Structure 1
């Protein structure tokens, strides 16, 4: 779905936007260079130098991580120091040290990674002894997960060479690749028994809602089902459920489940029997890992966007909160080989992600990287307040409220509702670069976790099923009313924006609630689900829509009812549509909405950003998009020449 990378406007009545910096928005974005307000370039310089998940070497002498500084993989000693680059070329595959891709081989002889530098994603291994870089596979297929065998002789992985994911095994010495499964259902996220004699993997049903954990021998024979898990929609094609993890002594399997109404970890006997919860909680849990001796399990737990790092005995009992970053998130724990420390990632509301190590003995953490640029930029960022506001149907909506520094009653500031993607996702205690840009420039911004968001239990996550753009929009409108009631906000100057489902919701807002907002900026949104089904028909989104709106064949009316395109004639809100073009995969959904707005002579602007897929991720394009968004909101939420109800300010 390649798109023309150059257009900035598509129809005669579209208001053109400047593609070059230097207008009023550029001046406004650079105001305060020497004061409290951060310039756009200062804000865009605040980005994490660490990605993926850290992984310890077998001897505990180094931690492997994805580094923005070195442009790939790097290692650091656990005491800290300067990172050492691992000289491998990841290509554009985008897979390195995530939960799907382990790094070190068990003995530390190799570092495994996935790269498309040979033309398609393939498994490569790099020798830590002599620097040899070896391509292990040549399948020309996507790879979504892989695991080293404990004896280091093989890597088992999930590849989709024949149109759906099967389990494959590659022999490291000979590079022989064998296909182990041939089921038409997705078979993914394989792991090994400690003796390297058996493989466990996850088989999804066709709806990606049910999971079976299957065990086979190393040759793929003698399958048996060891775990059955139901009613856990897996938008990540297995990534949400994750790897089944066998205990170091081989008797138990650790797995993630929604069976309690919350995403918790459970332990099942490998030889059969009822599973039990590891540390039951009314909170979602992530990233669980066994300690090397199998006595402990480390994991993270999410409480209203705050994620702490916990350790619990494998036998059960009260978990120990090891790390609880104030206004922040701890993620991706990795045990040291001696079990005395855990490497993890940490970020907060005013600081990007960094690599840390915490001692199990005394709970002391130390940072190994520092992503924050010099100049006390963090001290000039805004820390939001966590609030709740009441919506319809008895829902109390959690949200982050950002107020500009020095905001006071009577200031008449504009307000913006900022909606997250998903919809089954949420805002966390993390640094929001784009939000800070507008808050720094005098906008009061509210980030709600509306019904349908994750992190608040299964019932809340399912509360917008079958009613996208209607029941969840009620939470958005209630949030706008909350903003209007703030003493520093001008109630007539409320806008809305967001990307992906945030863009969808912004389209919903102007179509289904045309009087609720004065300006809207849908980012990479989707407007016509019926057209999407017949046109783009991208598998992961179709599974999501089938799950949340019902199968298209029996629920087309629901899909149509939740399509903003159906009410374009009612739009009265000035709208700026922004999205990327030029790279696969693309989408024509913003253009479809623009064409419909044009056909009804509605007020809108349309801007694309080159060399992107549908979403805008490049730094230069993100910079320009922020300037364009600022221009638009300044015109429609601040312009003193036009009164909110029409006419001029003098008429009022």
Structure 2
């Protein structure tokens, strides 16, 4: 089979991400790794002039958004060190490119959410433990720069200041039901925390950006069984729903146009994303004239006359568009970069559904190699996504293209626990990690076996984070199913993960309890659903990859499983392979790291599958 996509060329394709329109609406800032690592750029939307602002000061891996100051003179971004996610805030002067480190607790994670009209930053931070809301004053002395606004025991996140800066929106949970979230309003001095939005206890109800009138805010709720978008009048509690209650699509609110006429939203249907505009006066929906694909991004520009979008398909890389709302047409602001590659060599991802064990169907995206000879039998891989509250979209997937180009059939399923398919599907693996979601993975392997081009004896599984958890667990719970397994920054011991997260990422230990319940009350479940418990049952050959700086799924998750194998008399090299990356955390963050991972996977699958 001819390889059309050179590994280094594919891994080196640059990424443009985290685009944000300035408050004036005349500029955008964004991260791009055109130099080989991420840097911050600014571009004038009228003249097209683009400038690189940072030179090595930007984060190696983009894990947090940035914000503009009110006067657009500064950008505030977060950066960690080699993936340790101890996010520290930095101030960047747009005119000069000068970067200044702001005061930081070495153990905290600081994420800028908004800027007050007087220049103070609204920050979601783990200073003091659980994620809570803080104010940071860049002009104050370091020892008095921080002010705590909330001290909630559960994860608490601020969205934005009101236009006059007197109030802010906050989402948190004061219910014993850990799945529950509600919307709150808070005075800018930290007083008057008041719940303003709850559709029902147990649903995920949240508040977002303010309407320019300062009286209404965007809200979302999944109480109907899928994500809905609405407008809440803060002082009365009255909600005007924009998404139909009978509409089983998922929608997420974005931003308001400067004149307040439009609220943008993203509609998630069958693993696609489509921008939708809602008229805040009439409630009427407006769709945009875009080709079929995934168009994400809902930021208004140039006085609200344009909408900034990123557009992609399974065979076209993301490009940045500027959509003209008056004339219903768009221009390409930043074209997709293909380097030396020919886009015609990419294979289309097929949207499929396959039956699982209880009669339901699992949605998935299937990639088949282009040049398979008639009658040729190919190896196949099940790729499990992270989260699990995440999903595969029908956008460009460089990893799937890379593997398909090397002769592998790749199935990317949205198993139980995935988002985008309603509350019932998302919550179907609560307190059941490694249960029916694992059966969905096994059914995916069974589906691959039915394809005429697949060799049923050459099946593998891989994935990162929760996908790594499933790669560990499937290999020991379904020991006859897969020939190889590749857990990447995976989870092998649930109890150990919770203990570690409780110390260094308490918001994740909270999330974990919403997923799997209390570790004491459900101790036997946690033990049974930990791959390390069943390490002796491993038959597949396994290749573990993990970053030593990973705080989400710490390195002891991989080391613990490796040590369990060694204790069983297994030999590294013969029975399994193992690699640690001292310059990475929760996955590769730069082109060099991606290239290294691609090369290791290509070599491993060529030898073992």
TM-score, normalisation: structure 1: 0.82
Q: Is the counterpart of residue 262 in structure 1 residue 234 in structure 2?
A: no
The answer to whether the 8 Å contact 2:227/2:249 transfers is yes
Q: Is the counterpart of residue 573 in structure 1 residue 545 in structure 2?
A: no
CA–CA distance in structure 2, aligned partners of residues 546 and 225 of structure 1: 23
The answer to whether the 8 Å contact 2:182/2:206 transfers is no
* Contiguous gaps of at least 5 residues in structure 2: none
Among candidates 228, 239, 248, match of residue 198 of structure 2: 228
The answer to whether the 8 Å contact 1:266/1:275 transfers is yes
CA–CA distance in structure 1, aligned partners of residues 415 and 120 of structure 2: 45
CA–CA distance in structure 2, aligned partners of residues 469 and 116 of structure 1: 32
Among candidates 441, 448, 462, match of residue 497 of structure 1: 462
Number of equivalent positions: 590
- CA gap 1:92/1:443 in 2 versus in 1, 3 angstroms: closer
2:595 is aligned to: 623
1:596 is aligned to: 564
The answer to whether the 8 Å contact 2:354/2:361 transfers is yes
Q: Which runs of structure 2 are paired with 1:3-152 in the superposition (5 Å)?
A: 37-48=4-15, 50-58=16-24, 60-69=25-34, 71-79=38-46, 81-87=48-54, 90=57, 92=59, 98=65, 101-103=66-68, 105-114=69-78, 123-128=89-94, 141-149=108-116, 151-152=117-118
TM-superposed CA distance for 1:249, in Å, is 0.9
Secondary structure of 2:71's counterpart equals: coil
* Contiguous gaps of at least 5 residues in structure 1: 1-30, 235-240, 638-652
TM-superposed CA distance for 1:323, in Å, is 5.2
CA–CA distance in structure 1, aligned partners of residues 428 and 285 of structure 2: 30
Q: Is the counterpart of residue 635 in structure 1 residue 607 in structure 2?
A: yes
CA–CA distance in structure 2, aligned partners of residues 481 and 79 of structure 1: 54
1:294 is aligned to: 260
- CA gap 1:613/1:378 in 2 versus in 1, 3 angstroms: same
Secondary structure of 2:437's counterpart equals: helix
1:215 is aligned to: 185
Among candidates 172, 190, 193, match of residue 162 of structure 2: 193
Secondary structure of 1:454's counterpart equals: coil
1:555 is aligned to: 522
CA–CA distance in structure 1, aligned partners of residues 100 and 169 of structure 2: 26
CA–CA distance in structure 2, aligned partners of residues 308 and 182 of structure 1: 35
TM-superposed CA distance for 1:454, in Å, is 0.8
The answer to whether the 8 Å contact 1:56/1:335 transfers is no
TM-superposed CA distance for 1:447, in Å, is 1.0
Secondary structure of 1:554's counterpart equals: coil
1:336 is aligned to: 301
1:183 is aligned to: 151
Among candidates 318, 339, 351, match of residue 386 of structure 1: 351
1:151-209 CA distance string (max 9 Å, x none):
44433333333223443334566566462535243442142222222233233348753
TM-superposed CA distance for 1:407, in Å, is 2.7
1:532 is aligned to: 497
- CA gap 1:120/1:438 in 2 versus in 1, 3 angstroms: closer
TM-superposed CA distance for 1:313, in Å, is 0.9
Secondary structure of 2:334's counterpart equals: coil
Secondary structure of 1:338's counterpart equals: helix
Secondary structure of 1:455's counterpart equals: coil
Secondary structure of 2:452's counterpart equals: coil
RMSD: 3.0
- CA gap 1:167/1:375 in 2 versus in 1, 3 angstroms: closer
2:577 is aligned to: 605
Q: Is the counterpart of residue 420 in structure 1 residue 385 in structure 2?
A: yes
1:357 is aligned to: 322
